[in-house]
Amino acid sequence: MLRYILKRSLSLLVSLLIASVVIFAAVEVVPGDPASYMLGMNAQPDTLAALRDELGLNGSLIQRYLGWVGGMLQGDFGVSYTYRTPVAGMVADRLAVSLPLAIYALALSTAIAFPAGIWAAARRGRLGDTMVMGATQLGVAVPNFWFAMLMVLVFAIGLRWFPAGGFAGWDKGLWAGLHSLTLPAIALALPQAAILTRVMRSALIDALSEDYIRTARAKGLTRGQALRRHALRNALIPVLTIIGMQFSFLLAGAIIIENVFYLPGLGRLIFQAISARDLIVVESVVMILVFGVIVVNFAVDLAYAAVDPRLRARE
Amino acid sequence: MTVASIHRGLFSLLALTATMSMAEAKTDIIVGMQLEPPHLDPTSAAAGAIDSVLYANVFEGLTRFAADGSILPGLAQSWDISADGLTYTFKLHPGVKFHDGTDMTAEDVKFSLDRARAADSQNAQKALFAGIADVAVVDPTTVKVTLSAPNGALPFNLAWGDAVIVAPESIEGIKQNPIGTGAFKFDAWVQGDKIDLVKNAAYWGTPAKLDKVTFKFISDPTAAFASVMAEDVHVFAGFPAPENLAQFAADPRFQVLVGSTEGETILAMNNKQPPFDNLKVRQAVSHAIDRQAIIDGAMFGYGTPIGTHFAPHNPDYLDLTAQSAFDPAKAKALLAEAGFADGFTTTLKLPPPSYARRGGEIIAAQLREVGIQTEITNLEWAQWLEEVFKGKNFGLTIVSHTEPADINIYAREDYYFQYGTPAFKALMADLNNATDPAKRSDILKAAQKMIADDAVNAYLFQLAALSVANAKVQGLWVNAPTQATDLTAVSWAE
């Protein structure tokens, strides 16, 4: 197990190094100067020069790359060009929205997908299965931002049960925070739940045709008992993979939903930073996201080992 | 307790809180706007969003814009101009305090103006202060500003958000914690979300009627619509979806405010790049454009046609739209005279605002009618600034010039549309030297006529100021003489 973890850690570090080079290069080649964006159309050349100097935009590319990576190694993600506050603090503020939103959406999606997938697999080919599969087709096909707008029309403008958007803030209490994240979480969760239901169902159906299920049935377990005790556990590996991928997606990929509900999340921060050419924010936030995704994958790898003893034994 | 009784309980609780808030007029307001300020220092960035939140509310200058665009005294209660027009002596209001409790004195005025015009200044409108030779403190409430040449526009220049008075002791943290002299104090900023202001109880002038103001930043037009409809925001300043305004106007819960801005929206031409270096070609483009069709198609009817680079609500405005009236036949004839009987192909580079993106499609179609083919490129602002504004790599572009009274940009040879003829420069020099209002007015009219005669750009329309508000909110600015959301006189009707 230890060697397994060490090997995984090493590949984690190499991935991060490569990612830092790619991110820095990609962001720096984009045309557009942060100083002229900030000072606008009437700026005098000497004013622009003064600002560029203060932002440290005059150093060479290599110097700036090393400065950036060196800073990150010491936990310093730089200071935003436009907001003039440390990037680390901005990310922490945004994560206070994005992370709970991702967890909320993931919880909803698994809470829907597990029972629906198991129920459909147990009724393979019958009416219930067909209905669940039809619903998931719809869930995968419907764009989440459109569904979000529809929910706003019904639940915010029509029924007034929820605000049309915005985030109340955790200082107003857990309930207020969750309340304002509910519509966005549902909008994010439904397509994910549809995908996860389909994966759950097909993984279970595969497992149900294995020899050990026949053996379990032969020793007297009912179909339901065999499914719960033996098939479910074996079907979890592909499901875990999808959950890991979905979590990464939900954390970084909620940009559109954050826009529809004007939530101050990470996606919106990146979006604003790109248009303002706040390069240091883009670089550092993307780097933090890459780190997050790699760590989630690492955790999923460890979870495989926990679920599947063969993975532990092999090393 | 049954579900029904819980519902009943909740309902009566809601009814109770509703009656409680009905009892006295609301004293807080939530204002939605599209763009969030990058930071909170109006004296070191061009972002209009900074002024939209802070101008007149938190920060004040020596003079200020009134809702109709005229110049009123601000922190200076009066000023005297010397006979040669070179010295302005400003008399400050006594007893003005910054929000941190320190006194606002002539020293702060000197600091603010010197900071704005310093060699290492980061003021986005540094040109406003270019003519100032010296700022001297006479006594704590008197400041003497000496100019290197007469400049009748000084009180106007000092009304800009870029010229507000800041204090040396709070300048360090101004970007996060702005300390001004206004009727509202900065309270909190949740980045990406909102900014809170609270009433300044120690305000020197007429106190604000509201106790608390929240600016909420909602960039997506659909979300903006939903936030107003759901009454999550009480006012949306600069509403981004003109197509929805009719729906609000028909709903008794809301009022729609349609005013004018300082935004001259133009189809800019690269005057030094062939074929736009040819006057006939530029005239042809002007005649090929159907302004009303663009206003109707791109802005859903909101906007006033203009024939020169000047705001129609300004008393000095000359209506020159007839001079470049929509006339495709004439445009074709002019093109033929210029040697482009078969037309030509050029680039049309569009920044993100919808007036440019929607307007661009319509203009491309109109130009095609007279034989001019355009290749449309959509650019982000940063790209537009780099490629078009700085690089001058474009044939045509559409942009709204939102600075007030900015016809003097035509005197800048290196400005992106590259005009700056000696004759126009001479006019602007005369304007700077003139302090007599009648003479200034004549010069401004001559300037408008000159750029229209030279068809420097095709002048499209004055951008409308569009806001939606709860029907009970009163005292909002209808026009936008500068980018500001002045809430000092805003209140709720009983």
* Tens digit of each residue's pLDDT (9 = 90 or more) over A165-195: 888 888 888 888 899 999 999 999 999 999 9
Decide if A165 and B219 are in contact by the 8 Å CB cutoff.
no
pLDDT in tens, B54-89: 999 999 999 999 887 889 999 999 999 998 889 999
pLDDT at position A312, please? 66
Domain at B28-35+176-259+465-492, CATH from 3.30.70.1710, 3.40.250.10, 3.40.190.10, 3.50.50.60: 3.40.190.10
| Mean pLDDT calculated for residue range A209-238 | 84
In whole angstroms, what is the distance from residue B144 CA to residue A212 CA? 95
| Mean pLDDT calculated for residue range B427-435 | 86
pLDDT over 80 (residue A307):
no
pLDDT in tens, B223-282: 999 999 999 999 999 999 899 999 999 999 999 999 989 999 999 999 999 999 999 999
CA of A11 vs chain B CAs: smallest distance (Å): 35
Cβ–Cβ contact A153 with B under 8 A: yes
pLDDT band of residue A302 (cuts 50, 70, 90) is: confident
A4/B306: higher pLDDT: B306
Decide if A165 and B223 are in contact by the 8 Å CB cutoff.
yes
Helix (H) or strand (E) holding B268: strand B254-269
pLDDT band of residue B17 (cuts 50, 70, 90) is: very low
Taking contacts as CB-CB distances below 8 angstroms, the residues of chain A near B127 are: 42, 44
In whole angstroms, what is the distance from residue B144 CA to residue B322 CA? 46
pLDDT band of residue B5 (cuts 50, 70, 90) is: very low
pLDDT at position B24, please? 64
pLDDT over 90 (residue A259):
no
Which of A33, A47, A98 is the best substitution to test chain B (most B C-beta atoms within 10 A)? A47
Cβ–Cβ contact A147 with B under 8 A: no
Any residues with CB less than 8 A from the CB of B273 and at least 6 apart, and which? B392, B394, B395, B418
pLDDT over 60 (residue B6):
no
Decide if B192 and A268 are in contact by the 8 Å CB cutoff.
yes
CATH fold of A96-314: MetI-like fold (1.10.3720)
Q: Among B39, B223, B406, whose Cβ lies nearest the Cβ of A262?
A: B223
Decide if B219 and A262 are in contact by the 8 Å CB cutoff.
yes
In whole angstroms, what is the distance from residue A172 CA to residue A189 CA? 24
- Please tell me which residue of chain A has the smallest CA distance to B174: A84
Which of A37, A149, A257 is the best substitution to test chain B (most B C-beta atoms within 10 A)? A37
In whole angstroms, what is the distance from residue B27 CA to residue A40 CA? 36
Decide if B227 and A34 are in contact by the 8 Å CB cutoff.
no
Decide if A277 and B176 are in contact by the 8 Å CB cutoff.
no
pTM score: 0.85
B106/B69: higher pLDDT: B106
* Least confident piece of the model among A78-92, B50-64, B460-474: A78-92
Q: A183-205: buried (b, 16+ CB within 10 Å) or exposed (e) per residue?
A: bbbbbbbbbbbbbbbbbbbbbbb
| Mean pLDDT calculated for residue range B323-342 | 94
pLDDT band of residue A314 (cuts 50, 70, 90) is: low
Taking contacts as CB-CB distances below 8 angstroms, the residues of chain A near B45 are: 38-40
pLDDT at position A11, please? 84
What letter does residue B59 receive in the DSSP assignment?
A: B
What is the percentage of chain A residues whose pLDDT exceeds 90? 20
pLDDT band of residue B180 (cuts 50, 70, 90) is: very high
CA of B229 vs chain A CAs: smallest distance (Å): 6
pLDDT over 70 (residue A21):
yes
Taking contacts as CB-CB distances below 8 angstroms, the residues of chain A near B119 are: 46, 50
pLDDT band of residue B347 (cuts 50, 70, 90) is: very high
CA of B39 vs chain A CAs: smallest distance (Å): 5
Question: Where along chain B do its domains lie?
Answer: 28-35+176-259+465-492, 60-171, 263-463
Nearest alpha carbon to residue B192 among A277, A267, A184: A267
Taking contacts as CB-CB distances below 8 angstroms, the residues of chain A near B387 are: 31
Nearest alpha carbon to residue B61 among B76, B81, B79, B80: B76
- Please tell me which residue of chain B has the smallest CA distance to A261: B223
Question: Where along chain A do its domains lie?
Answer: 96-314
Decide if A164 and B229 are in contact by the 8 Å CB cutoff.
yes
CATH number of B60-171: 3.90.76.10
pLDDT band of residue B116 (cuts 50, 70, 90) is: very high
CA of A277 vs chain B CAs: smallest distance (Å): 7
pLDDT over 50 (residue B206):
yes
Decide if B123 and A47 are in contact by the 8 Å CB cutoff.
yes
Residue B237, CA atoms < 13 Å, CB-side half-sphere: 29
pLDDT at position B115, please? 95
Give chain A's mean pLDDT: 86
Please give the span between the terminal C-alpha atoms of chain B, in angstroms, as a whole number. 39
Decide if A262 and B39 are in contact by the 8 Å CB cutoff.
no
Which of B40, B128, B129, B220 is the best substitution to test chain A (most A C-beta atoms within 10 A)? B220
Q: Among B123, B191, B386, whose Cβ lies nearest the Cβ of A90?
A: B191
In whole angstroms, what is the distance from residue B319 CA to residue A76 CA? 57
pLDDT band of residue A313 (cuts 50, 70, 90) is: low
Residue B59, CA atoms < 13 Å, CB-side half-sphere: 32
Decide if B46 and A40 are in contact by the 8 Å CB cutoff.
yes
| Mean pLDDT calculated for residue range A303-314 | 71
Decide if B38 and A90 are in contact by the 8 Å CB cutoff.
no
∠ Cα A59 A62 A68 (to 5°):
80
CA of A260 vs chain B CAs: smallest distance (Å): 5
pLDDT band of residue A1 (cuts 50, 70, 90) is: low
pLDDT over 80 (residue B1):
no
pLDDT over 80 (residue B301):
yes
pLDDT band of residue B2 (cuts 50, 70, 90) is: very low
pLDDT over 90 (residue A268):
no
- Please tell me which residue of chain A has the smallest CA distance to B45: A39
Q: How many CB pairs under 8 A join A and B?
A: 148
Decide if A39 and B403 are in contact by the 8 Å CB cutoff.
no
Query: Could you tell me the two tokens for A230?
Result: 């033996």
Taking contacts as CB-CB distances below 8 angstroms, the residues of chain B near A184 are: none
* Least confident piece of the model among A77-86, B13-22, B137-146, B263-272: B13-22
Using CB atoms within 10 A of its CB, is residue B66 exposed (0-12), middle (13-18) or buried (19+)?
middle
Q: Which of residues 33-92 of A touch B (CB under 8 A)?
A: 33-34, 36-44, 46-47, 50-51, 54, 82-85, 90
CATH fold of B263-463: Dipeptide-binding Protein; domain 3 (3.10.105)
| Mean pLDDT calculated for residue range B324-329 | 95
Cβ–Cβ contact A247 with B under 8 A: no
Decide if B226 and A94 are in contact by the 8 Å CB cutoff.
no
| Mean pLDDT calculated for residue range A131-159 | 90
